[in-house]
Amino acid sequence: MKIIRCDCELETPHIDRTLRDWGHELTLMPENINEDELCLAMAECELLLMCYTPITSRVIVSAPRLRGIVKYGVGVDAIDIPSAHERGIAVVNIPTYAEETVAEGAFAMLIALAKKLMPLQKMLCTEGWAWPTARWLGYDIAGKTVGIVGCGRIGSSMARMAGAGFRARVVGYDPNKNFREMQALGIELYDNLHAMLAICDFVSLHVVLSDSTRHLIGAEELAVMKSTAILINTARGALVDENTLLHALQEGIIAGAGLDVFSQEPLNQKSHPLRALYSMENVILMPHFTFYTKEAMDRLEAETLERCKEIIEGRPVTIRSTDPRLQGDPV
């Protein structure tokens, strides 16, 4: 079988070696491949693995032999799933490999911002020492209110760390959860996002990106937050109106942000519209890395190969995601 794996900058040596050991022809494509180049490469492709590269309707139409698309990751917003299903192409993701991992990454940023660890480290590296002046005054997490937007697997892990681990009050907004489900997770349910944001000291986003959640956090939402609040986003950049967030950070509308994801990736310090973030002491930037641990990657590679084998052997593909976009059967 002819297989293409896009986004080869994300190294998956076990996947690559195993597919070749199984006797398949594997071609690796870079993350920045354009649509025209990918369409040409897809002419004889039977199985496509991708992580970030947009898989448009045009790409799908250009691949008459394509049998399956495996997203080796969670979010599927970069795939034109209706076009794939219309052509009988299976689409599957790997939704559970990094639930605790991403929550740990989000919490690490929350702690670092609350304790001002990044600017303190910079101060010590440049000046050798710092004194306990108002500039360095941090915040406790115990006794504060942590708001979780999206209380699925990752969000509920984040809630457990904040509540059971740090004795914070945990509140949550998730239209797909009821009171009893949230209570079982140790989360106080809020039906109104603005009402929840207004009481939070820390807000962490764990929502799937869709048409209804794009720019879920915009000017109105940032305006109702405390001026001392910190926003964490490890889900998808487009959940936030990023230009408005930049303004809010510059003007002190909120106190800080930890960002692992961006609408336009990668970031750069020369031309990116969010480049001003690099110089802000109250911001932590991550290069979409909160998923990236040895244990999570081991799980990701193993399950990706399971899904590949199902497609190669013509068996029904296991869909472990609850995302309704993946539930429809290919025709």
Percent of the chain with pLDDT over 70: 99
Query: Active-site residue numbers?
Result: 236, 265, 288
With beta carbons less than 8 A apart as the criterion, state whether 240 and 217 touch. Answer: yes
Residue 322 in this model has a pLDDT that exceeds 90 = no
Tell me the per-residue pLDDT of 134-171, one tens digit each, with 9 for 90 and over. Answer: 999 999 999 999 999 999 999 999 999 999 999 999 99
Residue 240, amino acid: V
With residue 142 as reference, give the H or E element that holds it.
none
Give residue 284's pLDDT: 98
Tell me the per-residue pLDDT of 271-281, one tens digit each, with 9 for 90 and over. Answer: 999 999 999 99
Give residue 331's pLDDT: 58
pLDDT band at 287 (very low <50, low <70, confident <90, very high): very high
Percent of the chain with pLDDT over 90: 95
Q: How many CB atoms lie within 10 A of CB 116?
A: 19
Instruction: Tell me the mean pLDDT in the region 295-318.
Output: 98
| Residue-by-residue DSSP string for 81-139 | HHHHHHTT-EEEE--STTHHHHHHHHHHHHHHHHTTHHHHHHHHHHHS-----GGG---
Residue 329 in this model has a pLDDT that exceeds 70 = no
Tell me the per-residue pLDDT of 178-202, one tens digit each, with 9 for 90 and over. Answer: 999 999 999 999 999 999 999 999 9
Residue 328 in this model has a pLDDT that exceeds 80 = no
Residue 117 in this model has a pLDDT that exceeds 70 = yes
Residue 173 in this model has a pLDDT that exceeds 70 = yes
Residue with tokens 């052997």: 313
Tell me the per-residue pLDDT of 29-51, one tens digit each, with 9 for 90 and over. Answer: 999 999 999 999 999 999 999 99
What distance in Å separates the CA atoms of residue 75 and residue 235, rounded to the nearest whole number?
9
> 3-class SS at 149?
strand
Average pLDDT score, the chain: 96
Residue ranges and CATH numbers for the domains of the chain are 2-97+294-326 (3.40.50.720), 99-285 (3.40.50.720)
Tell me the per-residue pLDDT of 70-94, one tens digit each, with 9 for 90 and over. Answer: 999 998 999 999 999 999 999 999 9
Residue 203 in this model has a pLDDT that exceeds 70 = yes
Residue 111, amino acid: I
Instruction: Tell me the mean pLDDT in the region 49-56.
Output: 97
